[in-house]
Amino acid sequence: MRGSNSQALRFPNGYDAVRAAALPENYFTVWANLFQMAGLTEGESVLIHADRAASAPRQSSLARAFGADVFATAGSKEKCGACEKLGARRAINYREEDFAEVIKAETEHGVDIILDMVGAAYLERNLASLAKDGCLSIIAFLSGSMAEKVNLARSW
């Protein structure tokens, strides 16, 4: 694991105790996945794949609040808009665009961290989107857990 195992959260800038107390309810899973497990730090870039219960916008907002350059995928114009409103530099509608092509076009070396809930169907494109020495954190397998073809000899 890249990150720490601490269970304490610091107040984000501008938050009082009451507002900060609401964060664990909404954001604890996001915090554990992005910061503790994947080790996201200020200045890094992240691609967040999520589309259930507005999780991509929530994750985008937390990553952005802590200084990350955020990309997100979502399945509708409305969800993409929510991601961008809450901090994503670019939200990619996976029904209309190939996220790997967008990441390639908009970053010099790919993203530092990918948080993936999709699994097998995204593995090849995740690897194409990841910066050298990046972290791919797969936290769910909505498309399955078995990938049949993966080019591990790809050139970064």
Write out the residue range of the structural domain in which residue 98 sits: 17-138
Segment holding 133, helix H or strand E = strand 130-138
> Taking the chain (156 residues) in consecutive chunks of 10 residues, what is each chunk's mean pLDDT?
60 86 71 88 92 60 90 91 89 95 95 90 92 90 76 65
Please tell me the predicted confidence (pLDDT) of residue 144: 67
> Is 91 a domain residue?
yes
Q: Which CATH number fits the domain that encloses residue 27?
A: 3.40.50.720
User: Which residues, at least 6 apart from 122, have a Cβ–Cβ distance to it below 8 Å?
Assistant: 49, 116, 143
> Is 89 a domain residue?
yes
> Is 4 a domain residue?
no
Please tell me the predicted confidence (pLDDT) of residue 142: 73
> Is 58 a domain residue?
yes
Please tell me the predicted confidence (pLDDT) of residue 51: 60
> Is 150 a domain residue?
no
User: Which residues, at least 6 apart from 62, have a Cβ–Cβ distance to it below 8 Å?
Assistant: 27, 30, 31, 34
Taking each helix axis from N to C end, the angle separating 55-65 and 77-85, rounded to the nearest 10 degrees, works out to 20
Instruction: Supply 133's token pair.
Output: 């020495």
Please tell me the predicted confidence (pLDDT) of residue 1: 45
> Is 7 a domain residue?
no
Q: What is the pTM for the complete model shown?
A: 0.79
> Is 100 a domain residue?
yes
CA pair distance 85, 133, nearest whole angstrom: 30
**For the chain, what is the domain count?**
1
Instruction: Supply 71's token pair.
Output: 């990309």
Please tell me the predicted confidence (pLDDT) of residue 4: 54
> Is 54 a domain residue?
yes
Please tell me the predicted confidence (pLDDT) of residue 148: 80
